[in-house]
């Protein structure tokens, strides 16, 4: 009897020890490897069971945006946006690019060691060499080399490799911030991508331009709205675009950028400071006039890694709902302000509910802007 009780007791103790280790392991896993604290805070963190990195985030002040801006960009290399078969003089239909392994979304950087800057150069060098060519290609984050042989097209008697390429893009969005301390800017809150391939375009050369809103297409459930505008003073750009990232576009301005609503810079608000509740955005829907519109921050996704979907917002301002139906294309980058701090930017609309959309934390834009 005594031995049986002792045996059961040993099992219970062993079970308790194993369970304790499992709970302890879960707790250690739960502790983030990268902890961010703020310059105006003092914290003592004792974590004897796990090594962590503590980042001290700086205080930042920025001029909020809301300006309608145009973006004109030359792509680094030339982007493959299509593949086509070519009819040869022998009556065959072939695609040298496809056969050699080229894919839509590839970026042709060099042909036979010569850098490619535009579609015209690709055409010229292919027809100059005429025989086997070596392509240096960027595919996402990888660099690959492809060898292929051009063929003569019966259509125009030119040598071709069977690809459609592009080297430029342009569009309209919204400025998020201007940093008066170093004359840098951020806009959009997401990347400029090629509409055919979804590829994030690499910047060879780009400019930020003044833009005026000419008309607004109302957003409805299932049909996103859109801002239509024009560039003006194109010979006097606002700044130089240097970086196109998943979290926004960034660069340097040629002069100061002012905001008529906020004449002085605002502090930024990190994600631990954001609250569910009222806030507002700055955006332009008429000419070049920036206006303030009320929103609600409905959900905050606390994140340790950058994402363009940091919070869910809902437009509550009846003026904005009447003008646009809510969030529409071209409003991406509109700064989100709460408690007199810039906390983020509008990034995406809910297609089936244009009153709602996503916002990115301002800290993610700054972290990926190379301006810190």
Are residue 128 and residue 236 in the same domain, yes or no? no
Handedness of CA 60, 63, 66, 67 (dihedral sign): negative
* Residue 372: inside a domain: no
Conformation bin of residue 207: beta by default, left when phi > 0, alpha when psi is -120 to 50: beta
Is residue 127 within 8 Å of residue 97, measured between CB atoms? no
Are residue 50 and residue 89 in the same domain, yes or no? no
* Residue 131: inside a domain: yes
Are residue 114 and residue 126 in the same domain, yes or no? yes
d(CA 175, CA 192): 14
Are residue 151 and residue 241 in the same domain, yes or no? no
* Residue 220: inside a domain: yes
The answer to whether the pTM exceeds 0.85 is no
Among 161, 194, 226, the domain boundary falls at: 161
| Per-residue pLDDT tens over the stretch 132-173 | 999 999 998 899 999 999 999 999 999 999 999 888 888 899
- pLDDT for 199: 85
Active site residues: 190, 317, 332
What average pLDDT does the chain have? 87
Are residue 140 and residue 264 in the same domain, yes or no? no
d(CA 120, CA 108): 13
Are residue 203 and residue 294 in the same domain, yes or no? yes
CA dist 74 → 174, 193, 202, 301, 344 (Å): 19, 12, 8, 35, 28
Query: Up-side HSE of residue 160: CA atoms within 13 Å toward CB?
Result: 22
* Residue 79: inside a domain: no
Is residue 186 within 8 Å of residue 249, measured between CB atoms? yes
What is the domain range of residue 9? 2-57
Are residue 174 and residue 155 in the same domain, yes or no? no
pLDDT band for position 38 (cuts 50, 70, 90): very low
pLDDT band for position 42 (cuts 50, 70, 90): very low
% of the chain exceeding 70 in pLDDT: 84
- pLDDT for 40: 43
Among 126, 161, 196, the domain boundary falls at: 161
Rounded to an integer, the average pLDDT of 205-213 is: 93
- Region of poorest pLDDT, from 4-8, 79-83, 105-109, 327-331: 4-8
Question: Domain count of the chain?
Answer: 3
- Region of poorest pLDDT, from 24-28, 177-181, 272-276, 304-308: 24-28
Residue 258 has pLDDT above 50, yes or no: yes
- pLDDT for 53: 56
pLDDT band for position 251 (cuts 50, 70, 90): very high
Residue 331 has pLDDT above 80, yes or no: yes
Among 139, 161, 183, the domain boundary falls at: 161
Are residue 203 and residue 139 in the same domain, yes or no? no
Is residue 269 within 8 Å of residue 338, measured between CB atoms? yes
Are residue 138 and residue 256 in the same domain, yes or no? no
Are residue 202 and residue 321 in the same domain, yes or no? yes
261-271 burial, b for 16+ CB within 10 Å, e for fewer? Answer: ebeebbebbbb
pLDDT band for position 8 (cuts 50, 70, 90): low
Closest CA to 267 of 342, 360, 333: 342
């Amino acid at each position: 009897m005594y031995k049986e009780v002792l045996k059961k007791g040993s099992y219970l103790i062993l079970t308790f020890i194993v369970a304790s280790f499992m709970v302890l392991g879960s707790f250690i896993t739960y502790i983030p490897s990268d902890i961010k604290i703020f310059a105006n805070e003092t914290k003592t963190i004792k974590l004897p069971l796990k090594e962590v990195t503590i980042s001290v985030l700086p205080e930042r002040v920025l001029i909020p945006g809301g300006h309608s801006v145009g973006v004109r960009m030359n792509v680094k290399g030339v982007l493959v946006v299509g593949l086509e078969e070519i009819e040869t003089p022998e009556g065959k239909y072939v695609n040298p690019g496809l056969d050699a392994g080229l894919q839509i979304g590839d970026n042709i950087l060099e042909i036979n060691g010569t850098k490619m800057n535009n579609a015209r150069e690709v055409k010229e060098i292919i027809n100059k060499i005429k025989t086997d060519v070596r392509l240096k290609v960027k595919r996402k984050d990888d660099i690959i080399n492809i060898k292929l042989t051009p063929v003569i097209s019966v259509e125009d008697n030119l040598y071709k490799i069977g690809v459609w390429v592009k080297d430029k893009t342009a569009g309209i969005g919204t400025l998020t911030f201007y940093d008066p301390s170093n004359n840098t800017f951020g806009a959009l809150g997401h990347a400029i991508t090629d509409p055919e391939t979804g590829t994030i375009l690499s910047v060879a050369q780009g400019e930020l331009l003044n833009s005026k809103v000419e008309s607004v297409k109302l957003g409805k459930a299932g049909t996103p709205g859109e801002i239509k505008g024009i560039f003006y003073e194109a010979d006097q750009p606002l700044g130089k675009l240097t970086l196109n990232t998943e979290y926004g576009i960034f660069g340097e301005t040629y002069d100061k950028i002012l905001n008529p609503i906020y004449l002085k810079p605002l502090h930024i608000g990190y994600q631990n400071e954001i609250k569910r509740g009222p806030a507002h955005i700055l955006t332009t829907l008429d000419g070049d006039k920036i206006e303030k519109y009320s929103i609600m921050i409905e959900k905050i996704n606390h994140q340790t890694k950058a994402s363009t979907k940091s919070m869910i917002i809902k437009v509550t301002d009846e003026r904005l709902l009447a003008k646009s139906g809510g969030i529409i294309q071209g409003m991406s980058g509109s700064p989100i302000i709460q408690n007199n701090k810039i906390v983020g930017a509008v990034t995406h609309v809910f297609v089936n509910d244009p009153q709602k959309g996503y916002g990115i934390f301002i800290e993610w834009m700054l972290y990926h802007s190379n301006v810190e």
